Structure 1
Amino acid sequence: MVAAQKLQGMSEPMPSKARALLQKIKRRTWMKYALRGVGPNDNFERLDLAYTIEDPWNMDSPGEIARFEATNRIIAREFGRLDSLLEIGCGEGHQSAWLARVANRVHGLDVSEKAVERARQRVPDGQFDAADLFTHTWPESTPRFDLVTACEVLYYMSDVERTLARMSELGRNCLVTIFAPAARRVGPHLDRIANLRKDWIWHGGTVWLVCWWRNE
């Protein structure tokens, strides 16, 4: 009787908290391996490797969703309704789906083909390309985007200055978000931009710096 009860208990579904904890451990273990050697060095192969698993950055977490919501509020407040928006480092389209709420047309770029395929499924009305910001070719007739965003991606760029300049070439306006501890490295590059505006996003103990500027 006792043995039967044990077997029955083993067949019961794992509690949701336990499943969530196991998923968290698996994600952290994988990302520790996948991002080995990744830093401000344009290591696109390792970034693509991270997307061997879905949602490697845990973009469905309450903290990230709070960041998406706050970013949208700032965009709406500062720029109003946008016609076109380019998202650099769109990943699997988690934030793209939020940006589609403030823009009529969303275009995303990411160096990971795996991530871009998932972004296309998540945001069917968006346009996504697996490409590097500097090598991707645009039709000559393409007008500048109303807004170009780079949220949580500048850390991985070897040349932040060049990235910001390219953003300004492509967009009438630009916006970036940065995990606050990274501001020491990225901040000085942003501070060189004329008419830079800043705000902060807070969620629990996590803080992000938001910066935006106008090019016209």
Structure 2
Amino acid sequence: MTTKPAPLRRPIESLRRRWRAFRSGRWLEAGQYKGNYRRMDRLYLLEDPWKLTSERERERFRLANEIIARIAPDCGALLELGSGEGIQTAYLQEVASHVIGIEVSPVAVGRARRTVPRAEFLIGPAEDAARILGPRRFDLVTACEILYYAPDVEAIIEAMQTLAPRILVTNYEKRGRLLAHHFEGPGWSRLDDIVVDGTRWLCHLWSAG
């Protein structure tokens, strides 16, 4: 009777654990990536790790566009924080003349530049957006599904408020309720939720006074 050598068995078991975690969705839990941008970049070794090309997500993008058309009609320049591989960016181009995306993963930005060539993509964390963009200003900033991965939500909000007179934030309901206190106070209002097949996203708007 022979057994597999331990040095070989260990990496095989490690790969199996990672594959089981991926299949179960545990790789995508917010707590595993909060502020860990190197790990976030490794996630993009898989194409579309967030499954944003699913019909459910595409419907979410369409409904988000309807909101943008109401809150920022005739939007010229739009800044998308956490633009990933550019999947939602392609939709945002339908409601803005020019879209710039900021994404922390160079791998994701590489794919985005190939798939959405009319948009502009910059590499960096969302909390550094004001520094990255310098004097550039926008009609609207969007932060869709990103804030629960950030180490400092308030820093990102403050950066967004210097870049545009309007901010649209959307969060998956179960995670978004933990962030609700960030969207209270002057300038903030609650919009209608986005609901697709029973899944709900909370929507918040900030407008400069």
Fold equivalence (TM over 0.5): yes
Deviation at 1:43, TM superposition (A): 0.8
Q: What runs of 5+ residues in structure 1 fail to find an aligned partner?
A: 1-24
Matched ranges for 1:49-60 at <5 A: 49-60=42-53
Read off the aligned partner of 2:104 and give its amino acid letter. Answer: V
What TM-score, normalized by structure 2, do the two folds share? 0.83
Matched ranges for 1:1-216 at <5 A: 28-29=22-23, 32-33=26-27, 38-39=32-33, 41-135=34-128, 137-138=131-132, 140-142=134-136, 144-216=137-209
Deviation at 1:134, TM superposition (A): 3.3
Quick check: 1:31–1:50 contact (8 Å CA) kept in 2? Answer: no
1:56 & 1:167 partners in 2: Cα distance?
A: 26
Structure index of larger Rg: 1
1:210 & 1:86 partners in 2: Cα distance?
A: 17
Q: Quick one: structure 1 residues 86 and 43, their matched pair in 2 at CA, closer, same or farther if it must change by over 3 Å?
A: same
Read off the aligned partner of 2:201 and give its amino acid letter. Answer: W
Q: What runs of 5+ residues in structure 2 fail to find an aligned partner?
A: 1-18
1:82 & 1:51 partners in 2: Cα distance?
A: 30
1:35 & 1:200 partners in 2: Cα distance?
A: 22
1:36 & 1:141 partners in 2: Cα distance?
A: 32
Q: Quick one: structure 1 residues 29 and 112, their matched pair in 2 at CA, closer, same or farther if it must change by over 3 Å?
A: same
What TM-score, normalized by structure 1, do the two folds share? 0.80
Deviation at 1:31, TM superposition (A): 5.8
Read off the aligned partner of 1:117 and give its amino acid letter. Answer: G
Q: SS in structure 2 opposite 1:109?
A: strand
% identical equivalent positions: 38
Q: Quick one: structure 1 residues 81 and 158, their matched pair in 2 at CA, closer, same or farther if it must change by over 3 Å?
A: same
Q: SS in structure 2 opposite 1:42?
A: coil
What is the aligned length?
A: 190
Q: Quick one: structure 1 residues 114 and 26, their matched pair in 2 at CA, closer, same or farther if it must change by over 3 Å?
A: farther
Backbone CA RMSD of aligned residues: 2.2
Quick check: 2:69–2:95 contact (8 Å CA) kept in 1? Answer: yes
